[in-house]
Structure 1
Amino acid sequence: MKLYPIETGNFKLDGGAMFGVVPKSLWSRTNPADSNNMIDIAATSLLIEDGDKLILIDTGLGNKQSDKFFSYYYRWGNHSLDKSLKQYGFHRDDITDVFMTHLHFDHCGGSVQWNKDRTGYEPAFKNAKFWTNKEHWDWAINPNDREKASFLKENLLPMQESGQLCFLEREKRREFYKQLNFEVLFVDGHTDKQMIPIISYKGKTLVFAADLLPTAGHVPLPFVMGYDTRPLLTLKEKKAFLQQAADEDYYLFLEHDAHNEIINLKHTEKGVRHNQTFTFNQLFN
């Protein structure tokens, strides 16, 4: 097995929304805001090369939305999914499986693209299976008013219409592990049935933290996103996860942190805290 970080493109989000009820005087110490109160956000995917499988975890925002849509998110930098794949000698047509932690547009927008004449949409990975779970799919295609702006039908329905959509059944995770060779933790605080990949790699446990832990600045327990649909449940899930991650020395791959690629944790008198930051190459090369 080989792993590769895939930079799909950076953007910005409102710092207050990213930290909920936590005052700016606290969260800005780790995630400084610009004059518009926006903070740097990454959308870093993870590519797993394992035998004849080439598995991409999450796909970023994509590029098919309107200029007006992207004007809200202040894209910055020159990263793209295709350039990042090419860096490692791959093309999107090589991808066999796309695993989506959840179906918010910044995690699955790159899964679907315009067709050639821009009259409709098509899967952006023509040879891949697209993995979600039935409970989260139903949650996404019948969105509640709070999340409606995050679940976009143009990101979802083309995967189903193509016949490439697959559902991971929670009770059959062992069978899934045999197929794709990583474990999955289900969490419900951010959105219903978000899936967190847990990967054993080169003697270490690497967790693709997705929106359970967006950035290193979110490690303190009360630092919960305003986007979470069930913040009290997030607190419970996060507490259990942080304890286990510190106890077992997990390495956390931070999908949304533009400045801390991978971190580990430690126990302190104030609770679990950020310990060290690593680049992917420092840790695994």
Structure 2
Amino acid sequence: MDLQINDKVAIVTGSARGLGAATARKLAAEGARVVITDVLAEQAEATAAALRADGLQAHCIVADITKAADVQRLVDETSATFGGVHILVNNAGFPRDKYLVKMSEQDWDLVMEVMLKGAFLACKTVMPHFIDQGWGRVVNISSRAHFGNPTQANYSAAKAGLIGMAKALAIEEGRYGITVNCVAPGFMETEMVQALPTYDTIKERAVQMQPIKRVGKPEDIANAVAFLVSEPASFITGEVLHVTGGRYG
């Protein structure tokens, strides 16, 4: 299928590694010009360099998406480098898992700031560009955790919030040719997850609860995002695509 995103410009937040890096690579392979952005400067630069080494169009901008000035600089530099911006993937985020009675205010605030405030600032900053050109794609990376997980009150709330934001923006911005959707991953084999001391136990439990008996790969998410930002998906908005191997609860 021709996704018709050749020469579109895509910003993927939190794309130094993991799901974000895989998504950026997929979009670039489909002909998009991608911006790798993260607070992990060295890893972000390496990811962008690896894409360029493979003949793909990529640029690195180190930015903290919880800061409005950084996000404005990110969008301005993207536009100056590639001549515009058409696609935003709000991927940045991380867990700070604890039972609620042991969860600190900082554990709550950090998760909310990066995932929700970061997505808000990024959407707000790119939206004038999308409106002016009459075309835009936003994909928020939510999670199966939006159904709720123990020790993840903060993470589950943030991921559910990304869905609510997407549904509201889908209604608000659809008249301008802009679609806003979510991808909700299940258990994914990323570097961050593999580094957990309980990785093997988590992996075994997740696979047991899935109809499809394998772990998810970053490429599974990248493929879902690539479809949702494509022209063939232009009549899909306000939706949540679960990429979970069939696990929901």
**Normalized against structure 1, the TM-score is what?**
0.32
Which protein is bigger by CA-based radius of gyration? 1
- The structure richer in helix per residue is 2
Higher RCO, 1 vs 2 (CA within 8 Å, ≥6 residues apart): 2
- The structure richer in strand per residue is 1
